[in-house]
Amino acid sequence: GNSVTQMEGPVTLSEEAFLTINCTYTATGYPSLFWYVQYPGEGLQLLLKATKADDKGSNKGFEATYRKETTSFHLEKGSVQVSDSAVYFCALSSDGEYGNKLVFGAGTILRVKS
Amino acid sequence: DAMVIQNPRYQVTQFGKPVTLSCSQTLNHNVMYWYQQKSSQAPKLLFHYYDKDFNNEADTPDNFQSRRPNTSFCFLDIRSPGLGDAAMYLCATSSLAGDTGELFFGEGSRLTVL
């Protein structure tokens, strides 16, 4: 079945450091790929998405490129801020007869120190 | 501006006392989802509606039920909450029109069971 594997956390960085959170997936067909962010006590917010191979999703300085050859969708940011501290979930969308379903990775906690 | 609204944000109940969580949406999406998210874990899909068609995940306990009286509203009923049901419950919606598979989440309802 479809699955998502992302690097374990927590990831602790100093402000302005470079961020990479690895994500790989297993899927049949051509799923859409997503990164969602969850701030403490809140629901999930879409951070960025990519719908086909070689697409690059970007938002708020974060980027991820859909790599079909390596089945990866790694999240990167050149310079993190304290406000980026949150849990990041990689996800893929699997088509169902009755609507899409999101399959999530386990989440990676990011802590940014000032 | 809120598009997916969950109530209440925080719910405290006693062991075995039924609870209902509600979700409303202004997006006119035809698919609505309920996810359960336990502490430090990925969201887990309980069930979803495609219009009025109910789709249960195979491992969702019978203790969890859902109702969707119209396009805008969806309810999660927990008939006899146990301590293990304490979690954040997330409602989400999606549209199959122009579909990229993206889900739109509410802010969640956090359930505490005493």
pLDDT tens by residue, B8-18: 999 999 999 99
- Given pLDDT bands bounded at 50, 70 and 90, which one contains residue A24? very high
- Contact indicator for A23, A105 with CB cutoff of 8 Å: yes
CA-nearest residue to A48 within chain B is: B102
Contacts of A89 in chain B (CB under 8 A): 42-43
Q: What confidence category does residue A96 fall into, taking pLDDT thresholds of 50, 70 and 90?
A: low
User: Which of A55, A98, A109, A111 would you mutate first to test chain B, the one with the most B CBs within 10 A?
Assistant: A98
Collect all residues from A whose CB is shorter than 8 A from any CB in B: 31-32, 34, 36, 41-46, 49, 51, 89, 93, 95-96, 98-102, 104-107, 109
Q: What is the mean pLDDT of chain B?
A: 92
Of A27, A44, A50, nearest to A87 by C-alpha is A44
- Per the prediction, chain A carries an average pLDDT of 92
Q: Give residue A29's pLDDT band: very low, low, confident or very high (50, 70, 90).
A: confident
Instruction: Provide the pLDDT for residue A57.
Output: 96
Residue-wise pLDDT tens digits, B54-88: 989 889 999 999 999 999 999 999 999 999 999 99
pLDDT score for A98? 62
- Specify the pLDDT at position B97: 63
Binning pLDDT at 50, 70 and 90, where does residue A9 land? confident
**Residue pair B76/B14 in contact by the 8 Å Cβ criterion:** no
For A87, which residue in chain B has the nearest alpha carbon? Answer: B40
